[in-house]
Amino acid sequence: MDLKYKRILLKLSGESLMGEKGYGIDPDVLDRFSNEVSAVHSLGVEIGIVIGGGNIYRGIAAAADGVDKVVGDQMGMLATVINALALQNVLEKRGIYTRLMSAITMEQIAEPYIRRRAIRHLEKGRVVIFGAGTGNPYFTTDTAAALRAVEIKADVIIKGTRVDGVYDSDPEKNPAATKFPEISYMDVLKKDLKVMDLTAITLCRENMLPIVVFNMTVPGNLKKVVTGEKVGSTVHHS
């Protein structure tokens, strides 16, 4: 099967792991996501994954509760590691070799992030999950995804969401929202579309790294993206 993308960086939000729950991790969602990753891995795609921590702890919300911004972000980074461990566990139950690499040193449960080692793992067919964001406060997991994608020379960032692309407004709140099948980085910035944060979009634009936004909850969608089918929206140069 022909592949459009050989090496991908899959970005998942922590909130997507909640499913219908109000917080935490829904085992059914984890199982579905592992199905999607497994199907793509079997095609020979090299997969890096960055996952958020919003289902467990959000630094932004914590700031409103009087928690120091830096401390809140550090707590959020640790939340991403919890999600990464959960995802690693279900993938390995499917017989997929994985490596969890953390931007914060915690050698008992994760390898320290070393760029060359991460690339070598990918070349050997291991799924690499990047935990703890960038390791620094004030940076989101969107920025971590863009940074890791550039570092590992990924062909694309694939952002899995609950909607099927980029819209001019939230389609879950506005049924008349207009979808952009393709859109430039500059238009995303000008229209202030919430695809990824400003730092992440800028990183992608400077490195000419395309972003595909698609609905991760639809079975088979991830496979369609990597094989070049028209799914979701693509953000790239004009």
2 domain residue, yes or no = no
DSSP 25-38: --HHHHHHHHHHHH
For residue 62, what pLDDT is reported?
A: 53
For residue 23, what pLDDT is reported?
A: 83
CATH of the domain at 17: 3.40.1160.10
For residue 57, what pLDDT is reported?
A: 84
The residue segments making up the domain with residue 90 are 7-236
Phi and psi at residue 43, in whole multiples of 5°? -85, -10
Q: What is the DSSP letter of 18?
A: G
pTM higher than 0.85? yes
Count CA within 13 A, CB hemisphere, residue 187: 13
Is residue 71 within a helix (H) or strand (E), and if so which, with residue range?
A: helix 69-93
For residue 64, what pLDDT is reported?
A: 59
Task: Find tokens 């960038």 and name the residue.
Answer: 134
1 domain residue, yes or no = no
For residue 63, what pLDDT is reported?
A: 53
Which residues 6+ apart lie within 8 Å of 52 measured at CB?
Answer: 12, 13, 14, 15, 80, 83, 141
Total domain count, the chain: 1
CA gyration radius, the chain: 17
Is residue 130 within a helix (H) or strand (E), and if so which, with residue range?
A: strand 127-131
Task: Find tokens 């979009």 and name the residue.
Answer: 201
Each residue's pLDDT tens digit, 94-148 = 999 999 999 999 999 999 999 999 999 999 999 999 999 999 999 999 999 999 9
Low-confidence ranges of the chain (pLDDT < 50): none
* Residue 191 near residue 168, CB atoms below 8 Å: yes
122 domain residue, yes or no = yes
